[in-house]
Chains A and B, each alone.
Chain A
């Protein structure tokens, strides 16, 4: 097997069995809630009333999806909102974040200003977001942006920028200077170097940053609910409104839950390598 010999978990056969069992149980516990969610999104409504309905529905129905996705329903609009907000956030955050990171990596500023700016960005990660939700709401009201896409997008961009900047900064700093220098010899200006040489070579990092940003924006609840309660309502805000405990709405709730969860799951499985790199950036090296 491929496990390293120093791993105490694989010393002998009985241990191996116990360890494997433990990991299998962990996998089951991880996956079971997803299984229940998907099952409930396809379960006929009368089965929700019964105590012995079985973990997976005996018959499948697609009525909740039809309901949620029908173009004249309000949920479809919410789905569109989510897509718009996520796309806009990802584009703006990755673009402005890359530019800032490149500036920080290449510009020699006095008083170690680059380090200061970099660290200031990091601070955003370290205070409770709830502290600014309400003032942000007041600010957006004063700007006349309350309940618009812009209000939600700006909030999401400002919260994802630190991650994008720190991710890209380490890539730009590690970027081989010789490549840029030889381009400079050929008379390539800074803008040409950046857009036609540096950026194309850092696409894996950009993909990682985009993935993390998109996931964050797609999932974010607090700011979306504070500044986009009606017109700019996103899926997480909508699902949090199912606060009634009646079994009757479980079908719709599960269908909406599946729509929130499934794209992220699929993307996470496909782009696992990028995702892990992004999630662990900084923590392990630093």
Chain B
């Protein structure tokens, strides 16, 4: 059996040659990504220029130019959503980046305890975001949630975390930070452990204190990785959906409608797919500009460091 398979493999190779086989290797993956990613991506650009509401018609309607984009200007919910989402992304990215770095810095080392600690600290990022939302909805439940139980136990007020418009948004930041600090942590932990030890030794020999080493050697060397981390965090935070979906479902009222949540609601709940495609593309262009700016900045830093 095996012999027959290898024989036919050899036969095939003689027919189409090594280059042919290598080219054939590349076909399936390329087809999948083109069909399932790039085609829908450009199709959504197309439907953002037509009039199509799925509840009215199963087929796209006529060309409407920029009408769907213009509609964004008069969508009051959307306008609140922009600001809220950017505020959320900055808060979550800032907090998780600082926390993740501090934790990575504090747990450098080879001991067994440290290794176990590092593994535990990674856990929140590998579990399902919808499960994170579900867990935290129980944690933060006003009446019977464990957090309020503890707060009441030590005589503090027990607020309605997810029911109060302001607190609900803060709660979502806290949940996002809990979930994604591990991402920052794991990247910085790897970056810290791959710092060239000669440089650190040299600084030590020259009499630098550990604070000076942190400030003037480690932080500058980590800047390019740091920017990458910030970029990924911002990108993910700007598009947060799962947590909102499973904790507040956008409420109370519209208080926790984030950008992705509104796109989801428009597209898959009200089936205004043209409008939702238009918001998506506006978001996409915004994200691309941000990514481009951060990557250029990163290239500058790397060049400046001569790395």
Contacts and interface: CB of A to CB of B under 8 A. Distances in A.
B173 to A, nearest CB: 15
A272 B119 contact: yes
B67 interface: no
A33 B280 contact: no
Contacts of A130: 239, 241, 260, 263-264, 267, 280, 283
B95 interface: no
Given A31-B120, A134-B276, A157-B36, A222 B242 contact: yes
A250 interface: yes
Contact of A190 (B18, B152, B187): B18
Contacts of A2: 109-111, 114
Interface residues of A, number: 103
A26 B280 contact: no
B contacts with A: majority SS: helix
A contacts with B: majority SS: helix
A9 B105 contact: yes
Interface in A105-119: 106-107, 117
Contact of A253 (B102, B117, B134): B134
B25 interface: yes
Contact of B126 (A3, A162, A275, A283): A275
Contacts of A137: 268
A268 B123 contact: yes
Nearest to B145: A36
B30 A127 contact: no
Interface of B: 6, 9-10, 12-13, 18-19, 21-23, 25-26, 28-30, 32-33, 35-37, 39-41, 43-44, 47, 102-103, 105-111, 114, 117, 119-139, 141, 143-144, 146, 149-150, 152, 178, 182-183, 186-187, 189-191, 194, 197, 200, 203-204, 209-211, 213-214, 225, 228-229, 232, 235, 238-239, 241-242, 245-246, 249, 260, 263-264, 267-268, 273, 276-277, 280-281, 283-284, 287-288, 291
Which 4 pairs between the two chains have the least Cβ-Cβ distance? Answer: A158-B36, A219-B128, A131-B280, A8-B210
